[in-house]
Amino acid sequence: MTKRAQNLTRQIAGLASAALLSAVSLGAAKSAALKPGESGVVASILDGDTLYLEDGLKVRLSAMQAPKLPLGRKGFKAWPMGEEAKAALTALTQKRRVQLFYGGETRDRYGRALAQVYTLNAAGERDLWIQEEMIRLGLARVYTWPDTWQNSSALYAAERKARESKRGIWGLPYYAVRTPEPNMLAQDVDSFQLVEGIITSTADVRGTIYLNFGADYKTDFTIVVAKKNRRNLERAGFDVLSLEGAKVRIRGWIELQNGPMIWLDDPNRLEILDDDIL
């Protein structure tokens, strides 16, 4: 662990305590939609978004993504502030009793619990929503999944404040919000990015929807909605074909098919930034 990460570990406990004094978050208010799951003491932390309970259960904190660490993967380069994110999660949870809450899928393909995680106070009551706190500290980004529910608006509000303050990862160019300029985005292939821009045109091609950010769909950045995922967006009230001219922010993994693109399978990953479009 770096000296910076060690210092951060000592600071987080104080920050978390301060947050608790004013924390009746929107997430807590709406958490009735979540179903309580396992509870237990946190035994160890793998990285900034993964921990183990004392009974051996491996928990992936749903709806957020912390900077990644190699974790034994050959040739994998640690993302900036990966150790700091791990230190923060350690300070917030290690040896603390936590309660897992589920909003849909409870396990991923690796057998990890996909949960919203709350620490519990001495009375066994929830006090700190870990996802919201990690994002507030600027040590994780919102990363929702289509088969889990969470209070996305509260998480986005925490992220927006952290980004505006350039807190944590948001002070580094590595995590800066990208523009849809295709030549620059082509350098980000196989990485997770936030891209912000104006949708110039939309198209439905045999059930697959394309949201284009330039005049040449063969080279410009595009958001793609597969036919099988259209229902997810329709259930959320999204008429994506009507978004021509809208300013949006999309998050996901950059791929290269003709130009750079991101697949959209969860409506929560698309933020519409024009108030008059909502």
Rounded-to-integer distance, Cα 232 and Cα 235, Å: 5
Would you call 57 helix, strand, or coil by DSSP? coil
Domain 177-272 has CATH 3.10.620.30: no
Rounded-to-integer distance, Cα 249 and Cα 241, Å: 16
Rounded-to-integer distance, Cα 167 and Cα 71, Å: 25
Pinpoint the alpha helices (H) of the chain.
3-21, 26-30, 82-93, 130-136, 152-164, 182-185, 230-235
Would you call 30 helix, strand, or coil by DSSP? helix
* Dihedral in degrees, nearest 10, Cα atoms 170, 23, 85, 90: 170
Q: What is residue 234's predicted lDDT score, i.e. its pLDDT?
A: 84
CATH number for the segment(s) 3-171: 2.40.50.90
Model pTM score:
0.86
Mean pLDDT, consecutive 10-residue stretches, the chain (278 aa), reads 52 44 37 85 98 98 97 90 98 98 94 97 95 98 92 96 98 98 95 97 95 92 94 83 95 95 94 68
Q: What is residue 10's predicted lDDT score, i.e. its pLDDT?
A: 47
Domain limits, CATH 2.40.50.90, in the chain:
3-171
Residue type (1 letter), 63: A
Q: Strand 126-129 and strand 63-65: pairing?
A: unpaired
Domain limits, CATH 2.40.50.140, in the chain:
177-272
